[in-house]
Amino acid sequence: MGAATEPAEARRDAAEGRIYLDHNATTPLAPEAAQAVRDAMLQAWGNPSSSHPAGRKAKELIGCARESLARMVGGRPEDIVFTSGGTEANNMVIHTARRHFCESQARPGDGRGTPHIVTSSVEHDSIRLPLEQLVKESLAEATFVAVSPQSGRAEVDDVLAAIRPTTCLVSIMLANNETGVIMPVTELSQRVHALNQWRVAEGLPRILVHTDAAQMIGKGRVDVQELGVDYLTIVGHKFYGPRIGALYVRGPGTTTPLHPMLFGGGQERSFRPGTENTPMIAGLGQAAELVSKNWEAYKAHMQDVRDYLEARLEASFGKQRIHLNSHFTGSKRLCNTSNFSILGPGLQGRRVLSHCKMLLASVGAACHSEKGDRPSAILLSCGIPYDVAQNALRLSVGRDTTRAEVDLVVQDLVQAVAQLDQDQ
């Protein structure tokens, strides 16, 4: 099969002609990003640290990509640190906050106690698990603030109520990968920064603010000046870019602390050493350019198709048989995500998907796909009843998903459910 040149072709090639609606798990490379990767592989293979023309060419490409990422999130190029992906970026924030707390103590053990980190109960595993590990090793304390069953959000008052004198970091994702619910990060950072004025005067540690923006980029506005965060995680493969990522840091090492997890050749100002992955960085920069130029159009299209999907589901199954799991009062949600349950016995999400002939989607986070038939912990923590959560399906549309594909997907679900109903 020839190399795909369009996202839709790439999607169909990978999906073997089926309809891919799992874009929150990962997206195909935009053709422009793939071209940038290819060009860099063939024409900018020099070591960016080399002073000769081959190295300088690679370094220039990286500089351009850094500018593109900064533009995409409203920051400065010097605020962008390239990483292997979102997991590394998230771990780096937690590592930094803990190290900064410990190093800020006047002297070891000066009574400040153990660094405390506040996050939500619905974060990605690359936030949840490093924190659980640090707690297990008594290297940090953590509070996982439950999301509100009414809003599906980590409410600001609840997050602030969890803050202690030893709190050094608050990390709340910008949008949840399963429900699509958008978290109140702007208000949160405003309230934390106001609190910091008092805390610093009292000799208490500054609370750093991080948001994992993996699921929002390319689907809505992401502006670090508006958000007011100190750190923001960027994940390339969520916005048609390559499988690398970056961390936005507001003035790394000056305004905002940043401690390396790796030591080596001094690349990325020694914040993240290792010879740079020039082709992937070039592709990431191109993907960022596309987002900066088109995110509003992407959002409008995906919202139209997602809303059409939910209307067709209710029309085809009846409103009483469809529970829309991320329709929370007063909450905003991602334009592309639909988490719903088809109610009835024997309609567990995985069973329904296994009876679909066209649809490729998921019941929740891809990295939880090995968790058997247990319903999503994220949905349960949002107050979705167990039997409803068990039947959950997560469909996440993409930039080129069409209404015609939605019609085929809904028909596919109808036939799958009809089969399973007969088996009852």
Q: Which parts of this chain interact with ligand SLP (CB under 6 A)?
A: 24-25, 124, 177, 365-367
Residue 349 lies near ligand PLP (rule: CB under 6 A): no
Please count the other Cβ atoms lying within 10 Å of the Cβ belonging to residue 97.
28
Give bridge partners of residue 181 from the DSSP assignment: 333
Q: What is the dihedral of CA 74, 326, 386, 22, to 10 degrees?
A: -70
3-state percent breakdown (helix, strand, coil) of the chain, nearest 5: 45, 15, 40
Name the one range near ligand PLP by CB under 6 A: 107-115, 201-209, 211-219, 252-260: 211-219
Q: How far is the CB of 90 from ligand PLP (least distance, A)?
A: 6
- Compare residues 177 and 391 and give the one whose CB is closer to ligand SLP: 177
Q: How far is the CB of 175 from ligand PLP (least distance, A)?
A: 8
Distance CA 177, CA 156 (A): 20
Examine the residue annotation and report whether 367 is marked as an active-site residue of this protein: yes
Which of 214, 229, 363, 382 contacts ligand PLP by CB under 6 A? Answer: 214
Residue 420 lies near ligand PLP (rule: CB under 6 A): no
Residue 86 lies near ligand PLP (rule: CB under 6 A): yes
Q: How far is the CB of 252 from ligand SLP (least distance, A)?
A: 26
Kindly state the tokens that stand for 97.
Answer: 């906050």
Name the one range near ligand PLP by CB under 6 A: 69-77, 209-217, 269-277, 304-312: 209-217
Is residue 152 within 8 A of residue 304, CB to CB? The reply is: no
- Compare residues 101 and 126 and give the one whose CB is closer to ligand PLP: 126
Residue 331 CA from chain centroid, whole number: 18
Which of 215, 325, 337, 376 contacts ligand PLP by CB under 6 A? Answer: 215
Of ligand SLP, ligand PLP, none, which one does residue 208 interact with (CB within 5 to 8 Å by kind)?
none
- The conformational region for residue 26 under phi > 0 = left, psi -120 to 50 = alpha, else beta, is beta
Kindly state the tokens that stand for 122.
Answer: 């619905």
Report the site for ligand PLP in 165-184 (rule: CB under 6 A): 173, 177
- Compare residues 92 and 365 and give the one whose CB is closer to ligand SLP: 365
Burial 170-180, CB ≥16 within 10 A → b, else e: bbbbbbbbbbb
Please count the other Cβ atoms lying within 10 Å of the Cβ belonging to residue 108.
7
Strand arrangement, sheet containing 167-171: 80-83, 245-249, 231-235, 208-212, 167-171, 116-120, 141-145
Report the site for ligand PLP in 1-40 (rule: CB under 6 A): none
Kindly state the tokens that stand for 94.
Answer: 């937690």
Of ligand SLP, ligand PLP, none, which one does residue 300 interact with (CB within 5 to 8 Å by kind)?
none
Give catalytic residue positions: 367
Which residues would be at the binding site for ligand PLP (CB under 6 A)? 85-87, 90, 124, 126, 173, 177, 212, 214-215, 235, 245
